[in-house]
Amino acid sequence: MFISPFDTLRILPRKLMMEVWRRLNTGLNEGEPWEPLADVHETNTNYYVWIELPGVKKEDIVLTIDKNKLSIRGVKMKKIDEDDEKIVFSECLDGSFEKVIEFANEIEEDKVNAEMQMGLLKVTLPKKSVSIGKRILVTGE
């Protein structure tokens, strides 16, 4: 198969960027937690967070909420036994992970819901209702 210099110029930057992203995402030091990818959506009443955690068991995830800050921590186990197999190359992240997401509004901590399906963690976070004030009627004469 012939690869022209133009194909190389098109493919090489993408491969380099993927390697840079992988290294930034895994942390600069060995054993440093990596950060999973997430999407955050908002409605008038809720925040919705989707976190990509393929290969992670729900038992290995710890979620905490403190006022307006959601913390996701856990561990993704290696898929192979290193004594029997040799890694040829590895692009999948494993080990400890951690992600902290801060929201503009406080969260109703007692009503947070988390559900794991097919490697995607969905967290529903109801916003605390803010009092806009109420007029008080004066009774009497």
The per-residue pLDDT for range 51-102, each reduced to its tens digit, is 999 989 999 999 999 989 999 999 988 776 667 777 777 777 778 899 999 9
Judge whether residue 37 has pLDDT over 60: yes
- Domains of the chain by range and CATH? 33-126 (2.60.40.790)
Locate 109 and state its tokens. 């901590």
Q: If residue 78 lies in a helix (H) or strand (E), which one and from where to where?
A: none
Strand arrangement, sheet containing 69-76 = 61-66, 69-76, 95-102
Dihedral sign from CA coordinates of 106, 34, 74, 119: positive
Could you tell me the pTM of the whole model? 0.70
What's residue 59's pLDDT? 93
